[in-house]
Homo-oligomer: A and B are copies of this chain.
């Protein structure tokens, strides 16, 4: 853990305040996500204090986006019907100023999701979250990872992430051993967490949903995104201490999201 530089643009007590506000407001978070992680994602949001709804059906997704406090678009299993739901939800989110997160899962060699990710990139996402390989593809500078695994590091992806942020207008979050969050100008690293999160399916996908939830409690998407990552790291650190493997870790992580106190978020972020 690195101490926070005095010049740091984020007042770190704001991170704690974000979590407190999240729990006080129970934001309604719409997740259009993949079939592998829907259950885990919903439980992660519930444990954090948000109210998840997996409303991705064309004919309903748009109406839901207008009442949601945040929307997640995750490309993990982009079936034809859900693709229509994506576009409907994004249009409605943009019309009603609902912040939304794009998670371009496993883009690169897989054609359908890759094309879709570029289309969505142009539709003003509030935040784009992915691993280094995914972010590099979306910044037009990488060929993709290995399935859902990154084959690039956050350090390698940093400049590309800044470029993507400037081009898209979105805050960009790159997940890895440490997480980089950037709006192209301001750059924040979030430390801590646990490698064990990579051994639980949906560890990254549910983080995208968490970002959507935190966007509802702070006007600056950079701060909100940092707070979501800091909260996630704090919960993972708690969980790994009492876990024997990825099964107990997943359970303890959910418990920890319920138990982490706002002040635990304060020392997780540092100016990059």
Residues of A within 8 A of B (CB): 28, 34-40, 42-43, 46-47, 51-57, 59-60, 63-64, 67, 76-81, 106, 109-113, 146-149, 198-202, 243-248, 250-259
Contact = CB atoms under 8 A, between A and B. Distances in A.
Report how many copies the assembly holds.
3
B110 A146 contact: no
Nearest to A242: B244
A111 B251 contact: no
A200 to B, nearest CB: 6
A14 to B, nearest CB: 25
A106 B68 CA distance: 14
18 contacts: A39-B40, A39-B202, A46-B198, A46-B200, A46-B201, A47-B245, A55-B147, A59-B112, A60-B110, A244-B255, A244-B259, A245-B258, A245-B259, A246-B254, A246-B258, A247-B251, A247-B255, A251-B251
Contact of A37 (B39, B56, B255): B39
A46 B201 CA distance: 8
A246 B64 contact: no
A244 B59 CA distance: 39
A157 to B, nearest CB: 20
A250 B81 CA distance: 31
A255 B259 contact: no
Contacts of A255: 243-248
A76 B247 CA distance: 24
A200 B54 contact: no
Nearest to A67: B109
